Amino acid sequence: MSFTALAWASKQKTGNGTTKLILLCLANYADDKNSCFPSFKTICLISECSRATVIRALKKLEEKGFISINKRFQEMQDSARQTSNIYQLNIVSQIDTPQYQIDTPEYIKETPPSIRKIPHITNHNKPIYNNEFEIFWKAYPNRPNDNKYGAFQKYCSIIKNKEITFEKLIEKTQWFAKTQDGKDAKFIPHCKTWLSQKRFLDVEKPIIKKTNLNMLVG
């Protein structure tokens, strides 16, 4: 057994599970020169694959450059009898020759990474929100029994879909908060509702009335 061969084989991307299994079987029998000669019967027994499956897998491994297959013969009195093949693991070739490396499968390339932001869960089952949302949450008017997690989900959806920039949302939220000063908190809409109905789009900068000094003087 060659631990070097096993370590090498375990890191290879052969394209499917069967060929990887057969490669590992060969590595398990490899000597210090990375070669081995187990019979088809032995490989079938170890891998639990049929003879036809083993032959196909060995052919694929040879085609992709993972191994080299050489026929082995035993000299008889009047002829030579073929015995098990010699399998050479191309460990050096695999390292030095990039074309033997298998590309990442297409189904992995085509799967986009998830960009949905969800809060992490601590050991106390309390969500941990990102800094941007915390800034928004503090800017929104305080509403008793508000659903912070629900608001966070709506906030992430709005930002992800680029319905409004973070900076503009904070500005609109601050304007809205000023219009709610002095109001009974129970009449302030839930943050989740305010976001879901996109009420922030209707918020305008409040007009600050200036005191007329002439009126004060009389």
Q: Are residues 14 and 86 in the same domain?
A: yes
Query: Is the per-residue pLDDT at 48 higher than 90?
Result: yes
Indicate the residue among 109, 132, 154 that finishes a domain.
109
How far is residue 192 from each of residues 142, 157, 208, measured CA to CA in Å? Answer: 13, 11, 28
Residue 87 burial (CB < 10 Å; 0-12/13-18/19+)?
buried
Query: Is the per-residue pLDDT at 96 higher than 80?
Result: no
How confident is the prediction for the chain on average, in pLDDT? 81
| Structure confidence at residue 120 (pLDDT) | 55
Query: Is the per-residue pLDDT at 82 higher than 90?
Result: no
| Structure confidence at residue 1 (pLDDT) | 63
Exposure of 72 in the CB half-sphere (CA atoms within 13 A): 13
Query: Is the per-residue pLDDT at 100 higher than 50?
Result: no
**Lowest-confidence pick of 2-16, 107-121, 167-181:** 107-121
Other CB atoms within 10 A of residue 110 CB: 7
Q: Which residues does residue 67 pair with via DSSP β-bridges, in sequence order?
A: 89
Q: What is the mean pLDDT of residues 146-162?
A: 93
**Lowest-confidence pick of 67-71, 88-92, 99-103, 203-207:** 99-103
Q: Locate 125 and state its tokens.
A: 């089952």
Q: Which residues does residue 127 pair with via DSSP β-bridges, in sequence order?
A: 121
Q: Locate 115 and state its tokens.
A: 């960009």
Between 107 and 35, the more confident residue is 35
Percent of the chain with pLDDT over 70: 73
Indicate the residue among 109, 130, 147 that finishes a domain.
109
Q: Locate 137 and state its tokens.
A: 């949450």
* 62 in a structural domain: yes
Contact between 23 and 61 under an 8 Å Cβ cutoff? The reply is yes
At residue 205 the predicted structure's pLDDT band, cuts being 50, 70 and 90, is confident
* 208 in a structural domain: no
| pTM confidence score | 0.41
Q: What is the DSSP letter of 182?
A: T
How far is residue 35 from each of residues 86, 91, 101, 154, 215, measured CA to CA in Å? Answer: 7, 10, 20, 60, 103
How far is residue 23 from each of residues 2, 11, 38, 213, measured CA to CA in Å? Answer: 13, 11, 12, 92
How far is residue 90 from each of residues 96, 97, 109, 138, measured CA to CA in Å? Answer: 10, 10, 28, 62
In angstroms, the CA 66 to CA 88 distance is 9
Q: Are residues 87 and 160 in the same domain?
A: no
Q: Are residues 21 and 93 in the same domain?
A: yes
At 172-204, the pLDDT tens digits run: 999 999 999 888 988 899 999 999 999 999 999
Query: Is the per-residue pLDDT at 78 higher than 80?
Result: no
* 189 in a structural domain: yes
Q: Locate 19 and state its tokens.
A: 């060929």
Q: What is the mean pLDDT of residues 31-50?
A: 91
> In 83-188, which ranges are continuous DSSP H helix?
91-96, 106-109, 131-139, 148-160, 166-179
Domain that holds residue 144: 120-202
